[in-house]
């Protein structure tokens, strides 16, 4: 997978830091498969912060809340902004179910009143 410049920089800096720590301890750097998997997760998270994409669910002629939540999961959308009760209320139950089965869901209700 092609990495963003920021992700490559983060991985390079981590590798340099680990190598320096190994040299200080008098050991050579040896990466296990688990070490590489953790570094890949870090790079994935960095890339997600860099990417700014707009994702649309397959159904766009009406609000299908279950389909919206499935799309969020499938596309691994990092942030969803919902404005207004007409859009937000139908998403509440499917979002709650998703948050119970998937740890990456964080529901943060916010309101502003004039």
- In this predicted structure, the answer to whether residue 29 has a pLDDT above a threshold of 50 is yes
**Quick one: 14 and 39 in the same domain?**
yes
- In this predicted structure, the answer to whether residue 114 has a pLDDT above a threshold of 60 is no
In SS3 terms, the chain reads as CCCCHHHHHHHHHHHHHHHHHHHHCCCCCCCCHHHHHHHHHHHHHHHHHHCCCCCCCCCCCCCCHHHHHHHHHHHCCCCCCCCCHHHHHHHHHHHHHHHHHCCCCCCCCCCCCC
**Quick one: 28 and 66 in the same domain?**
no
**Quick one: 44 and 67 in the same domain?**
no
Q: Residue 110 sits in which domain range?
A: 54-114
Residue, of 27 and 112, whose pLDDT is higher: 27
Distance between terminal CA atoms of the chain? 47
Digit-coded pLDDT (tens) for 45-98: 887 765 567 788 888 889 999 998 888 888 877 777 777 788 888 988 888 888
Rounded distance between C-alpha atoms, residue 85 and residue 30, angstroms: 53
């Amino acid at each position: 997978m092609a990495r963003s410049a920021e992700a490559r920089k983060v991985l390079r800096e981590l590798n340099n830091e680990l190598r320096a720590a190994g040299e200080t301890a008098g050991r050579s750097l040896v990466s296990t498969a688990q070490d590489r998997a953790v570094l890949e997760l870090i790079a994935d998270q960095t890339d997600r912060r860099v990417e700014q994409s707009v994702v649309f669910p397959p159904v766009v002629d009406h609000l299908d809340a279950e389909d919206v939540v499935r799309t969020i999961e499938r596309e691994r959308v990092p942030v969803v902004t919902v404005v207004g009760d007409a859009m937000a209320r139908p998403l509440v139950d499917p979002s709650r179910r998703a948050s119970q089965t998937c740890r990456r869901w964080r529901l943060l209700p916010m309101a502003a009143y004039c």
